Amino acid sequence: MAVQACALSLRLGLWMSLLLPVLPGAGARAAGARWSGEGTTPHLQSIFLGRCAEYTTLLSLEPGNKNCTAIWEAFKVVLDKDPCSVLPSDYDLFINLSRHAIPRDKSLFWENNHLLVMSYAENTRRLMPLCDVLYGKVGDFLSWCRQENASGLDYQSCPTAEDCENNAVDAYWKSASMQYSRDSSGVINVMLNGSEPKGAYPTKGFFADFEIPYLQKDKITRIEIWVMHEVGGPHVESCGEGSVKILEDRLEALGFQHSCINDYPASASMWRESPALHAIGDISLIISLLVALASSSQA
Tens digits of residue pLDDT in 96-118: 999 999 999 999 999 998 888 88
One-character DSSP codes across 85-137: ---GGGGHHHHHHH-----TT-EEEEES-HHHHHHHHTTTTS-EEGGGSHHHH
Please report which confidence band the pLDDT of residue 291 belongs to, taking 50, 70 and 90 as the band edges: very low
What does the angle CA 258 – CA 135 – CA 67 come to, to the nearest 5 degrees?
A: 140
When mean pLDDT is compared across 1-15, 148-162, 214-228, 259-273, the lowest value belongs to 1-15
Rounded to the nearest angstrom, the gap between the alpha carbon of residue 187 and the centroid of all alpha carbons in its chain is: 21
| Per-residue model confidence as pLDDT tens digits over 130-180 | 999 999 999 999 999 999 988 899 999 999 999 999 999 999 999 999 999
The partner residues of 111 in beta bridges, in order of sequence, read: 192
More confident site: 203 or 272? 203
Question: What is the C-alpha to C-alpha distance for residues 74 and 90, in angstroms, rounded to an integer?
Answer: 9
More confident site: 147 or 264? 147
**All domains of the chain in start order, with CATH:** 10-298 (3.40.50.720)
* 48: Cβ contacts below 8 Å, ≥ 6 apart: 72, 75, 138, 139, 142
Instruction: Count CB-CB contacts under 10 A for residue 280.
Output: 12
- Eight-class DSSP state of 150: S
Instruction: Count CB-CB contacts under 10 A for residue 65.
Output: 8
Please report which confidence band the pLDDT of residue 125 belongs to, taking 50, 70 and 90 as the band edges: confident
Residue 260's H or E segment, with its range, is strand 258-262
Q: How far is CA 75 from CA 44, 90, 96, 241, 260, in A?
A: 11, 8, 11, 41, 37
- Strand pairing class (157-158; 37-38): antiparallel
pLDDT score of 29 = 54
Q: At what angle do helices 114-121 and 10-19 cross, to 10 degrees?
A: 160
Is the Cβ–Cβ distance between 226 and 267 less than 8 Å? yes
Is the Cβ–Cβ distance between 156 and 29 less than 8 Å? yes
Secondary structure of residue 186 in the 3-state scheme: strand
What does the angle CA 121 – CA 42 – CA 167 come to, to the nearest 5 degrees?
A: 75
Mean pLDDT of the chain: 83
Q: At what angle do helices 280-298 and 10-19 cross, to 10 degrees?
A: 50
**183-192 as b/e: b if 16+ CB within 10 A:** bbbebbbbbb
